[in-house]
């Protein structure tokens, strides 16, 4: 299977500060169209799953280099700890049959981009091709647009990742443009495809 199902283009050090579920909020549980797939906050008992699925070069290859490789226990501990207080941003685990197998997120922007969020996801390789990413992305998009904050979601995708483009298209995102030679990844200078969705409200 080609390296797909990883599209969360999130700077790790920055996102660790801005993504998560605020501790003073009730736990955010977002159902999907499949009862076996649920979006929920990251927990300390997800450390093992984060390392198991995150420590994979095929996953890393479709994310920014701020997502570490190799992915170690210390990275999982740091992520879960900081993801507990996100402010207006959203960062949730994708739970499949009771196990965290990936993540979805929306980074809230500020100033003139106040109503825009950067949308993305990643999924452990053993779970590619099961429709999980599409179900999770649809649920997150609907959840993000249900609040007043987000009116536009942007999802940049590396040009060598057509499967993630198909996920976004099935989620209702539209290709708005190609950012030529905008990403240096794994020793290659490649294009990035800008997908976006806007709220009807």
Q: What is the pLDDT, as a whole number, of residue 73?
A: 98
Q: What is the pLDDT, as a whole number, of residue 12?
A: 41
139-143 contacts at long range (C-beta below 8 A, 24 or more positions apart): 139/30, 139/31, 139/32, 139/33, 139/37, 139/39, 140/30, 140/39, 140/90, 140/92, 140/104, 140/105, 140/106, 141/171, 141/172, 141/197, 143/30, 143/39, 143/90
**Stretch 175-197: mean pLDDT:** 97
Q: Where are the domains of the chain?
A: 12-154
Asked whether 136 and 124 are in contact (CB, 8 A), the reply is no
Q: pTM, whole model, 2 decimals?
A: 0.86
Q: Residue 45 above 60 pLDDT?
A: yes
Lowest mean per-residue pLDDT among 4-13, 62-71, 94-103: 4-13
The superfamily (CATH) of domain 12-154 is Gcn5-related N-acetyltransferase (GNAT) (3.40.630.30)
d(CA 100, CA 92): 10
d(CA 111, CA 19): 18
Q: What is the pLDDT, as a whole number, of residue 186?
A: 95
Q: Residue 22 above 50 pLDDT?
A: no
**Stretch 15-43: mean pLDDT:** 71
Q: Residue 130 above 60 pLDDT?
A: yes
């Amino acid at each position: 299977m080609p390296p797909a199902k990883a599209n969360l283009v999130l700077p790790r050090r920055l996102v660790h500060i801005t993504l998560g579920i605020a501790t003073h909020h009730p736990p955010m549980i977002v159902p999907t169209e499949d009862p076996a797939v649920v979006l929920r906050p990251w927990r300390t008992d997800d450390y093992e799953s984060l390392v198991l699925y995150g420590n994979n070069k095929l996953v890393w290859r479709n994310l920014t280099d701020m997502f570490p490789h190799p992915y170690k226990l210390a990275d999982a501990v740091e992520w879960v700890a900081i993801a507990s207080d996100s402010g207006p941003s959203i960062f949730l685990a994708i739970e499949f049959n009771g196990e965290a197998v990936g993540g979805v997120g929306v980074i809230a922007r500020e100033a003139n981009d106040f109503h825009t969020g950067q949308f993305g996801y990643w999924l452990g390789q053993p779970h590619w091709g099961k429709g999980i990413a599409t179900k999770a992305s649809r649920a997150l998009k609907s959840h993000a647009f249900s609040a007043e904050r987000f009116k536009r979601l942007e999802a940049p995708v590396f040009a060598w990742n057509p499967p993630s483009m198909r996920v976004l298209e099935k989620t209702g995102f539209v290709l708005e443009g190609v950012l030529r030679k905008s990403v240096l990844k794994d020793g290659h200078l490649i294009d990035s495809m800008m997908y976006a969705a806007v709220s009807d409200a």
